[in-house]
Amino acid sequence: MNHEFNATQRPLAGKIALVTGGARGVGQEISRQLAALGAQVIITARDKAKADMVANILRNQGLQATGLQLDVTSDQDRDAVFSAISEKYGLLDILINNAGVWLDSANAATPPERPPSETSETVVRSTFESNFFAPILLTQLLLPLLRRSSAARIVNVSSIRGSLTHLSDAASPVYPIKALAYDTSKAALNAFTILLAEELRGTSIKVNAIHPGWVRTDMGSEQADLSVEEGAATAIRYATLDQNGPTGGFFYQAERLPW
């Protein structure tokens, strides 16, 4: 059944949004909320069948969504996504770099078995491939399409665990678990956010990093504080900024976080 929305209820009508890791967890909920706001959402996942399944669910709700295969670490997949968006839409309005991995331990509630001085090279390299290199390379590739938008928004889904201030503060809730690979990959992603935002300052493109909160997903664990609906809220806030919104920041909801 199709749902009717007016312009106020669908502020993203006509906008094209891409969400990496959009077939499960927070990414799936970000996709749903963007679509509910009127965007044509491109849901990407390593498994195209899963991306298509989520897109079908949204379309059955009267929303606009399509699925694409995207292993964010694959040059071939990234190139194919660029070609698909370029040919079908000609531009991109919103990029949510959400896909990421936690390989330091079973999940974010579980301390790693090894301290940072003993973290394996494989864990560090694999984490950086997904959490740092992939969003950089995808953003660089899609930037020409984002430049064609009248007001593009790039949201890098980071973590409070990427805050050097929090990692070095014994009073911080993230201090007890020392996850070398994940923490440093998100700190690096934060640095990319700053540098890209400064490069694009003065344009209509806004770039921000966000902390979704500790969310009940496979990565976050069942011990986490927030539902996926709550976890998606910050990404939505910064994907829908008006022209007076910030750029080059690190946020949780309306709170600016320390680097």
The catalytic residues are 182
CB-based burial of residue 202 (10 Å sphere; 0-12 exposed, 13-18 middle, 19+ buried)? Answer: exposed
CA atoms within 13 A on the CB side of 189: 37
Q: How far is the CA of 155 from the CAs of 19, 56, 71, 184, in angstroms?
A: 10, 24, 18, 19
Q: Is 97 exposed, middle or buried (0-12, 13-18, 19+ CB in 10 A)?
A: buried
Residues contacting residue 240 through CB under 8 Å, at least 6 positions apart = 11, 12, 37, 153
- The neighbouring-strand residues paired with 68 are 44
Pull the structure tokens for residue 227: 């539902």
Task: In whole angstroms, give the CA distance from residue 27 to residue 19.
Answer: 7
Burial class (CB in 10 A: 0-12, 13-18, 19+), 3: exposed
Tell which residue, 50, 25, 54, 26, has the closest CA to residue 41. Answer: 54
Element (H, E) at 156: strand 153-157
Q: Which helix (H) or strand (E) holds 182?
A: helix 180-200
Residue 169 makes CB contacts below 8 A (sequence gap 6+) with 175
